[in-house]
Amino acid sequence: MVKLSVILPTYNERENLPELIAQIRRLPIEVECVVVDDNSPDGTGEVADRLALRDPLIKVIHRPRKAGLASAVYAGLSKASAPYLAVMDADLQHPPHLLAQMLRYLENGYDMVVASRYVRGGGVIGWTIPRHIISRVATLLAHLTIPRSRVVKDPMSGYFALKREILESVKIDPSIGYKLLLAILVKGKCFKIKEVPMVFRRRLRGESKLNEKEVLTYLKLLLNLLKQR
């Protein structure tokens, strides 16, 4: 039985998805890939379908419109079969080789493993100074307003793995946008958490999803989580 399912929300990742799957397939572990495509106009969904025809460990979910990361992850959960789940971007900014290490920690009793830019050995390559400032300010705001977020140095990471039952037990507002980890830290029963260093790389192909709307959505999320403490 496959032990790890990785959920890959996609929107306009036609150029990146085949290389990401190829890198995952070179790992020393079997990984089920669940691609959740939000009707990408660049044909990402069709690329995913072609990959799935050749690889029985790829499942594809087609959604009619762009509906956000949180809802994509829960859509992927409905198709994932493994006891452990990982969430990562499909743009090659998250290093796939960490999946094997993350699975080992989960099998050794950790509830969640977070790929972190802000622990020793982690970092970011290719960001502009404003992007660095935005990330650091967002992390500081989370740590100041949501004490539970302080259990990790990088609560804004979009790359993490966890026990299936934790994700199944957490009710998340699908409108929270891309900071799903923060909501899970607050609402989920994660008692033993491990951070592993991640070098977050610059996107080589395609466009960044970060925009003013996502920043406003993040601030709204902080307010909502603050009320729920």
Provide the CATH number for the domain around residue 20: 3.90.550.10
pLDDT of residue 166: 96
Residue 117 above 70 pLDDT? yes
Average pLDDT over residues 158-164: 97
Residue 172's domain comprises: 4-228
In tens, the pLDDT along 6-48 reads 999 999 999 999 999 999 999 999 999 999 999 999 999 999 9
pLDDT of residue 128: 86
pLDDT of residue 85: 98
Question: What pTM did the predictor assign?
Answer: 0.89
DSSP track, 75-126: HHHTT--SSEEEE--SSS-S-TTHHHHHHHHHHTT-SEEEEESSSTT-EESS
Give the number of domains in the chain: 1
Gap between the terminal Cα atoms of the chain: 38
Order of strands across the sheet that contains 31-37: 58-62, 31-37, 4-10, 84-87, 160-163, 112-116, 193-197
With bands split at pLDDT 50, 70 and 90, how would you rate the model's confidence at 66? confident
With bands split at pLDDT 50, 70 and 90, how would you rate the model's confidence at 211? very low
186 vs 28 pLDDT, higher one: 28
Cα–Cα distance, 92 to 53 (Å, whole number): 22
In tens, the pLDDT along 119-147 reads 999 999 988 888 888 788 888 888 988 88
Percent of the chain residues past pLDDT 90, beyond the cut: 66
With bands split at pLDDT 50, 70 and 90, how would you rate the model's confidence at 95? very high
